[in-house]
A = this chain, B = another copy of it.
Amino acid sequence: MTDAMMKTVACVGTGVIGRGWIYNFVRAGCHTRAYDKDSSQIDQAITWLKGTLKQDIADGFLTEEKGEAMARLVTLHTNLREALDGVEYVQESGPEVMDIKNAMFAEMDRWTDPKTILASSASSLNINEFTAGIPGMDRCILAHPFNPPHIIPAVEVMPTKKTDPNVVDRTIAFLKSLGHKPMLINFFVSGYLINRIQAAVVREAIHLVESGLCNAEAVDTAIKDGLGLRWVILGNFGTNHTNAVGGIREYYGKFGKVYQSMMKALDSTPPSFDDEMVERFGKQLDEIYGRVPVDQISKWRDRLIRKIRRLKDEDPNP
């Protein structure tokens, strides 16, 4: 364990996001308190954890010994005060509802030491609003993972207006020690960072299909067999940097005007998302994936993502 590591942490809320965090914490060796006011929700999370560990051992991502050690690090709690006693880091993953998060943070603040970091998995709310008035607002921070959190390393980190810079640094260091790739967002905007980029792609992708230019499968080919192959290695700016021998200066210098005219041609009207539109895309996806259950596609996706991550780890940035 490095200095950045937290010995004892709590997961407040054990739904799909919370249980992913539990996996990450125990993989890193943290004693992990799983709290939910609903004991059947905790049971589900533990069933998921055990099933996932078993599958990961079968798939060769974990040794049997490691999987067993991980399972032993979780304790289950339906009493919040007890769950939070002596923890160094709390990860809240409750419902995306302002009042619920606000009440939860007030309680988390009450039952923890003033040095404990209080992090939220909020995915769209403004953290400045749901931590407003909390005495410990200076130790509140956003740590928004990407689904599923135990597969995708990116995590958005955003301080409140009052967050102590030291809390930001400690959170980033801790997330890195878990194997995450945190990125710092300086202030709140709608969609934060990742979902804005995603929205830009979804908007143009839907527009192209709805305009009759091509079908949904063509757009997905463009991304999975084209753009995505470069993006997954270099991101956006890194890709731009390798698009000209002189790097991003040459690329933006040469193609800035071309980009401007293309950007002006993009449709900036959001799609309707009405029932007819949703059904048109539903039918196209049926054609692409047949009637394979979504859950099966997701398992395949997660297995491949882990293999790609391993490839990238084995052959890092020169």
Binding site for B on A (CB under 8 A): 124, 146-147, 151-154, 156, 181-187, 189-191, 193-205, 208, 211-238, 240-249, 252-253, 256-266, 268, 270-271, 273, 275, 277-279, 281-282, 284-285, 288-289, 292, 294-298, 300-301, 303-305, 307-309, 311-312, 315, 317-318
Contact = CB atoms under 8 A, between A and B. Distances in A.
Nearest to A288: B238
A307 B307 CA distance: 10
A196 B278 contact: no
A18 to B, nearest CB: 17
A211 to B, nearest CB: 8
Given A151-B229, A203-B263, 5 more contacts: A154-B226, A183-B219, A237-B288, A247-B285, A263-B268
A193 B222 contact: yes
Number of copies: 2
A185 B220 contact: no
Contacts of A231: 201, 223-224, 227-228, 231-232
16 contacts: A153-B225, A183-B219, A190-B262, A203-B263, A205-B237, A220-B234, A223-B232, A238-B288, A238-B297, A241-B297, A248-B285, A257-B273, A259-B271, A297-B317, A304-B315, A308-B311
A229 B298 contact: no
A17 to B, nearest CB: 13
A311 B318 contact: no
B242 A196 contact: no
Given A199-B263, A270-B263, A312-B304, A238 B224 contact: yes
A240 B282 contact: no
A220 B236 contact: yes
Contacts of A234: 220, 224, 297, 301
Contact of A309 (B151, B229, B298): B229
B204 A200 contact: yes
Contacts of A217: 183
